[in-house]
Structure 1
Amino acid sequence: MSSSSAAPGSSPLPGAGPLSLCAREPHVPADRLVAEMVPPPRFDSVRFATYIPDPNQPSQTEAVRVLEGFAAGLGGAQAAGGGRRGLFGFGRAKAPKAPAGPRGVYLDGGYGVGKTHLLASLWHAAPAEPSRKAFGTFVELTNLVGALGFQQTVRTLSGHELLCIDEFELDDPGDTVLVSTLLGKLVEAGVALAATSNTLPGKLGEGRFAAADFLREIQGLSAHFRTLRIDGEDYRHRGLPEAPAPFSDEEVTKTAFATEGASLDDFPHLLEHLARVHPSRYGALTDGLRAVCLTGVQPVPDQSTALRLVVLADRLYDREVPVLASGLPFDRLFSEDMLNGGYRKKYFRAISRLTALARDAKGLLGA
């Protein structure tokens, strides 16, 4: 396979072959990880005004109303003693104390009801400076702790007004204890929280580990949030989205060579490469890419590999990078056991997002 000698993130040299994800091993400074905790390009221009509630689902209109109030409360009138008024009226003194009730809002609902749209709209509406509010997926948050260390993450995020966590999930006991402790310390520091998930706070971790053994931590997490249910049609009830038919190896390869800024990789080799790159760097792995071309797509061999692929799919979707592939269609990536297991929601999301990116890639052929 041919790949360009250009530096990661740059365009290929004239006459050079396509880029290769497998040739990239990005090293991301910790300050970049924090600076990039903003809504991804796909949600850069969304606002509450661009969210169109379903008239048949009053909970969607109610969610907008509550979140607009949430954002206004973050601006806060000055409280007595020079503190800032906090979420839902809790005072925020110079020496903050743990509030007596929820200091966050938790958007619970199925796929396709606009939870991420609303969360990003909240981030944009919050009056704090961009450097004092953070937006990231749950995986990105845990990866940040892995990169910075727990204490440095607490110190860094404690200076924020707002932390937005998209796709809140608990995958293992370690995550449960880690996030419970982290959010507790951030709330004590006066940070307001907002999260989205497909699982109610008290049900986090079910089907993935012995959640009952960590009930105290899960209940502690739940206590930080006021839950807002957002109803609407859930694509899971309609079955998996139908993925477009894959192209031939020749079509994918020719398109990669003809498309400026495209990468070309063998799918099994890419899966092996992802194991050598920390998931916190998957965003940097896609720097400068205008298309991802993959040959030989086949079912992922195990759960660890599958979860890494989910993270890459999220980063590609966030950045609106089309994916052109040969081999099997994306709706056959995960085994029946995986789709029926504790991580099924992640896999459904990955299939949905990769399918959307595959549809976007159709325009690359013959361009």
Structure 2
Amino acid sequence: MPLDTRPLNSLGLPKPPSETRVVVAMSGGVDSSVVAAMLKEEGYDVVGVTLQLYDHGAALAKKGACCAGIDIHDARRVAEDMGFPHYVLDYENIFREAVIDEFADSYLGGATPVPCIRCNERVKFKDLLETAKDLEADCMATGHYIQRMNGAQGAELHSAADASRDQSYFLFSTTPQQLDFLRFPLGHLPSKDDTRALAAKYGLSVAMKPDSQDICFVPDGNYAAVIEKLRPGSAEPGEIVHVDGRVLGEHNGVIHYTIGQRRGLGIGGLADPLYVVKLDVDTRRVIVGPKDLLATRTVPVREINWLGDVPFTSQEEWHLNVRVRSTRPPREAIVRPISDTEAEVELVVAEEGVSPGQACVFYAPESSRIFGGGWIWRGY
């Protein structure tokens, strides 16, 4: 079959923008709105899609608290102003089964889950991506701050140009097949100010809309309240126990605590500060101890999505940088494959508060490339 020698458009496809259909995943925020407006101005056949994922009112048991409707309205208004079609898809059942239920069960199991990763993996880059293909799109674009670059072996995932906005931790599970179809037009921008400047240039109503800070279905940041609503009876009281066996007090539910937590333990009056070092769900005990017990160098990882050019198990060990929490910079580590999807990660310098349920993301030591990652699944 002869090679297509037509010039590539700005999305890397060999056809004019007017003949290139792009589905833009629109959340109603400034980032995805700018992506849609930018591509429309460049002459692409843009189709906006917004997902109805959750009902804040149902999540918080409050009448009239469905803030999700505001985001849908904002996305629709941008589409109307820029002159491209916009669809709202009801994904509530899919989102509940693929994201919310696991979030609740993981929290009840003593883990610290990251539902935004599961949403990208199981909803946006799976079901929505397939919907984009059903709409005969040539690619799907999002407002994520991450870069897709063409490498010798195909599309590669790279960190955003603006390190403070980089979302690679939440996108490590993007597969090579998904990466072929995805585009991230904002990843190269130097700062969020540039995005807002573009929004103002296009006259978008969301130009100054504040960024969302919380998990979308936990709009007030109160995880425990949502979990109690989803899993009635989950906030059973128990004991706060020192690692030496002393009972220091009582708590009103393991779901109110996370590994590494110091404040809000309700056990004041002690000479040295104590931290949550373990959550024993079976006995409903919150185990506390000194800070040095939080440090670990060995991190077991599973469900690995590998984005390297050669098979993960082709080497006995990989010298990479890894990030074990979204708020921490990558640290030097040795990644030892156990199978195609499991590994033991040895941190060169111990990290504090490594928790099951968090992601461990792999980075190239001296470039912006992301080599995938996996899920931390138990502590040592």
- Please tell me whether Structure 1 or Structure 2 has the larger radius of gyration of its CA atoms: 2
Q: Which one has more relative contact order, counting CA pairs under 8 Å at least 6 apart?
A: 1
Is TM (by shorter chain) over 0.5? no
TM-score, structure 2 length as denominator? 0.26
TM-score (norm 1): 0.26
